[in-house]
Amino acid sequence: MKKSANVKSRQTVYIGFGSNLGDRRANITKAVELVKLIKGIRLKKLSSIYETDPVGGPPQAKYLNGVFSVDTKIGPIKLLYELQNIEKRLGRKRKAKNSPRTIDLDILLFGDRKMNTKNLKIPHPRMHKREFVLRGLRELLPHVHARGVREGYHRRKPVEVL
């Protein structure tokens, strides 16, 4: 019998995270725990955590950022919905663009899929511009291309390994 076209294949997904409000480390730990509880998802690897300066928006505190990978059979839209629920549960208020946040979760790569809808763009359109994303990705996926990494950033040390 042929395999049904509805049987979804397992994909490796890379998710970027950031927090610059409240107890940043606790927010990240909680978000990762909540991701682990999503049905159909298995956490694979977690990068180092980097402290970064905010980009754009009002004056605000530094971020703790990083990347983790998961194995999943759920689709990208459902995954975005689940991640946005976690952002809400951790108290994220959607205010102005680039405003401070308890937790931000972005889908960076979803297997080799490409999407360009109003609510979901994959690969994430700004991932090449964010050094912590590239550094985090390179930790998890060593062959990732280093495009966009600013001179000198390589010398910065991760602030912490979770």
Rule CB under 6 A: which residues touch ligand AMP? Answer: 80, 104, 106-107, 119-122, 124
Give the residue at shortest CB distance from ligand AMP. 119
To the nearest whole angstrom, how small is the minimum distance from the Cβ of residue 100 to ligand AMP? 11
Return d(Cα 31, Cα 85) in angstroms, integer. 10
Smaller CB separation from ligand AMP, 40 or 123:
123
To the nearest whole angstrom, how small is the minimum distance from the Cβ of residue 33 to ligand AMP? 20
Cα 32 → chain centroid: 10
Smaller CB separation from ligand AMP, 82 or 154:
82
String of DSSP letters for 31-60: HHHHHHHSTTEEEEEE--BEEE---SSSS-
CB 14 within 8 A of CB 69: yes
As a whole number of angstroms, the longest Cα–Cα distance in the chain is 60
To the nearest whole angstrom, how small is the minimum distance from the Cβ of residue 44 to ligand AMP? 18
Collapsed DSSP state (helix, strand, coil) of residue 133: helix
- Kindly list the catalytic residues: 92, 101, 104, 106
Smaller CB separation from ligand AMP, 61 or 154:
61
